[in-house]
């Protein structure tokens, strides 16, 4: 068929897709402006209530001692083959078994896996990375450096760069979103997955369009689409919004000590420390709309019944996309979003049972 005819036949579909994307972006930025007004009021209230902290975040010059805890592992750097970036990671148990690779979420870093690093190093080579843009890893400033494809290439480079051909992928929040995608596009590199508190992008998209409550829970994602303003709001009153996110008595991490809180704030307080992590969100809507994808990697899914950011209904939506028999899902009663840190013992029990056949 002549190329001109093909172009003419595809023109209506292409126009419809462009109009759909234009409509989507108009909604996203409208929601972003509303979210900016709300979070701006919250940040201003924090400043007025604590005027001595000022309108900026205090830079931390010395990392807290818990980031150097030798029981968690050895600090190393790996230069990625695809991008040349250097990623920081903490490694323990090398030679003790298969590679267990941990991917953190926001606003976290490798330290969010401290309980799992201690628990599994006796039977696995455990590695917790600082994803690009976080902590001591390289942090390019350009938004285009944080596309899903580049982030998945980072994971591939870490696995192969550590000398492995496959891994057990353990992931939470944003790290879990990357893990879902990685298992779809690089299935040969993932033997098993343990996913906590996040849905695949296509599942989240379809579910959110049918359940407006989920969009309200995700209001911060719209704020993060804007340039520079989210960095400013999050840093005001010495990062009080982040502090509240991590320490809130209902929505935060239970029993988080001041030293552990500083372990997360230290990286964000460095110059440009928030821009890389927020650039993950600024790429979220670029691939809209997404096609449904079948999920087949054997996966343990853990979900908090009281997760304030993701509705429990997403678990059923995820299950409907799975090859039968490949998903083991558990909803933890009374538990929130931060399961690896709030309920490590419960998480470890499920993981040991899920991985038992690999160890026999």
Q: How many CA within 13 A on the CB side of residue 267?
A: 25
Strand-by-strand arrangement of the 190-196 sheet: 74-79, 86-92, 125-129, 99-103, 167-172, 190-196, 299-304, 327-332
List 130, 154, 157, 173, catalytic entry = 173
Distance CA 178, CA 193 (A): 12
List 134, 138, 337, 350, catalytic entry = 337
Determine whether 173 is an active site residue: yes
Distance CA 166, CA 128 (A): 16
For 20, the token pair is 């759909």
List 266, 281, 309, 350, catalytic entry = 281
The DSSP 8-state label assigned to residue 165 in this structure reads S
Determine whether 157 is an active site residue: no
Complete DSSP assignment for 303-341: EETT-SSS-THHHHHHHTTBPTTSEEEEEETT--S-HHH
For 307, the token pair is 């997760």
Determine whether 69 is an active site residue: no
- The residues, ordered by sequence, that sit 6+ positions from 139 with a Cβ below 8 Å of its Cβ are 132, 133, 272, 273, 275, 276
Annotated catalytic sites, by residue? 173, 281, 337
């Amino acid at each position: 068929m002549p190329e001109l005819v093909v172009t003419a036949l595809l023109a209506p579909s292409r126009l419809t897709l462009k109009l759909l994307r234009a409509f989507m972006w108009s909604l996203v930025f409208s929601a972003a402006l509303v979210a900016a007004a709300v979070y701006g009021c919250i940040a201003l209230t924090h400043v007025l209530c604590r005027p001595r902290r000022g309108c900026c975040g205090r830079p931390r010059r010395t990392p807290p001692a818990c980031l150097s805890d030798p029981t968690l592992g050895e600090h190393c750097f790996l230069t990625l083959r695809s991008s040349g970036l250097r990623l920081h990671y903490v490694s323990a148990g090398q030679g003790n078994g298969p590679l267990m690779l941990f991917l953190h979420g926001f606003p976290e870093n490798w330290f969010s896996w401290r309980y799992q690093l201690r628990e599994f190093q006796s039977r696995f080579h455990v590695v917790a990375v600082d994803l690009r843009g976080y902590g001591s890893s390289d942090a390019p400033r350009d938004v285009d450096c944080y596309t899903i494809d580049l982030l998945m290439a980072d994971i591939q480079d870490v696995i192969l760069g550590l000398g492995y051909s496959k891994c057990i992928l353990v992931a939470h929040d944003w790290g879990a979103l990357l893990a879902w995608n990685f298992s779809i596009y690089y299935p040969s590199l993932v033997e098993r997955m343990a996913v906590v508190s996040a849905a695949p992008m296509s599942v989240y998209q379809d579910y959110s369009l049918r359940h407006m409550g989920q969009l309200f829970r995700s209001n911060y994602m719209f704020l993060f689409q804007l340039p520079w303003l989210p960095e400013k709001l999050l840093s005001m009153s010495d990062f009080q919004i982040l502090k509240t996110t991590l320490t809130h008595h209902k929505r935060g991490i239970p029993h988080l000590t001041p030293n552990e809180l500083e372990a997360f704030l230290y990286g964000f307080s460095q110059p440009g420390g928030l821009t890389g992590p927020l650039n993950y969100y600024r790429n979220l809507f670029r691939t809209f709309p997404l096609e449904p994808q079948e999920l087949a990697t054997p996966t343990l899914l853990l979900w908090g019944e009281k997760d304030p950011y993701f509705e429990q209904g997403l678990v059923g939506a995820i299950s409907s996309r799975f090859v039968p028999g490949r998903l083991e899902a558990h909803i933890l009663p009374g538990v929130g979003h931060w399961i690896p840190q709030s309920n490590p013992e419960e998480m470890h029990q499920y993981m040991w049972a899920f991985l038992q056949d690999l160890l026999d």
